[in-house]
Amino acid sequence: MSNRRDANGISFLRFAYTVPGRVLDNQKAVYGGRDKGRDGLTNLALIRRKSRRIIAASFATAACLSGITLFSPSAQASTEPGLVGKRIVIDAGHGGRDGGAESADGRKEKDTTLAVANDLAALLRQSGAQVYLTRDTDTDLTQPSDLGHRQHASLRARTVYTKEKRPDVFISIHCNGSPSPTWRGAHVIYRDGNEEAKALATVMQENFRAYLLPTKRTIDDTSTLYLLRRIEGPAVLAEIGFMTNPQESAAMQTPAYRQRVAFVMYKSVVEYFGQVENSKDEPTAALP
């Protein structure tokens, strides 16, 4: 681990996290070879240049991407103009009796989604957003009387909660599972025909491809997912990796990688709101 300052005097911590049998660093693995020849510190500066609006939260950039200290007591939390007052609902998939997908060593999806949701909520809140979590503990949101149809009841409860909050953005966080351990890659799902959701999904998928474990996956549309069918506006479901893929599962068990996932989502939300603002500035018709 090393600590250096960039040209603006902002301290970046080089990160490394381990998965069984190897060490991944921000040069070889997380950037998927896109920025070969640059060192990790340059890459981190690149992220900042690409999204200047995030500079206000640059201490979080350094901390999250370093995966070392997310919330240093000495760090000055700064608001992000594009996020102030924005209402954001984060849904940590599964919970309670519903563990979701499972890794070969018995890790449950519900724990990963909750950890990422809490990290994402913290980042958004410290930047001025109004954040609501469908759950912040290990629960499935059902009542004892829901026995027998718990899964449906849980989804219904999440929908009711989300609609009550009238969110500007809704993100449901999940991990994938498959019969084959070779399946891998984070991807974002939106409802077919929902253009706002597609815009958010597109930004998030680009960032997943750039900053998470390597994937060539693209956004997926759907017309069947319960939550996405019922929640209007920029509502997406992010599958952040496969519990059944040994490398992704191992990474998702580390706080460093989970914080990275949360930061990449945070960055995507900031960029999405930036796009919305920019589109307002554009003239709607040429003058005669």
Binding site for Zn ion (CB under 5 A): 93, 100, 174
Q: How far is the CB of 89 from Zn ion (least distance, A)?
A: 17
Residue from 266, 82, 249, 281 nearest 175 by CA: 249
CB-nearer residue toward Zn ion: 174 or 209: 174
CB-nearer residue toward Zn ion: 82 or 93: 93
Q: Which string of DSSP letters, residue by residue, matches 102-144?
A: B-TT--BHHHHHHHHHHHHHHHHHHTT-EEEES-SSS--S--G
CB-nearer residue toward Zn ion: 17 or 242: 242
Q: Looking at residue 68, what DSSP letter applies?
A: S
Q: How far is the CB of 196 from Zn ion (least distance, A)?
A: 23
* Cβ atoms of residues 92 and 113 within 8 Å: yes
Q: How far is the CB of 174 from Zn ion (least distance, A)?
A: 3
Q: How far is the CB of 171 from Zn ion (least distance, A)?
A: 13
CB-nearer residue toward Zn ion: 80 or 91: 91
Strand (E) or helix (H) holding 61? helix 58-66
Token pair listed for 184: 């891998």
Q: What is the dihedral of CA 259, 187, 50, 19, to 10 degrees?
A: 40
Three-state secondary-structure class, residue 217: coil
Q: How far is the CB of 62 from Zn ion (least distance, A)?
A: 31
CB-nearer residue toward Zn ion: 95 or 128: 95
Task: Using CB positions, name the residue nearest to Zn ion.
Answer: 174
Rounded CA separation 116/267 (Å): 14
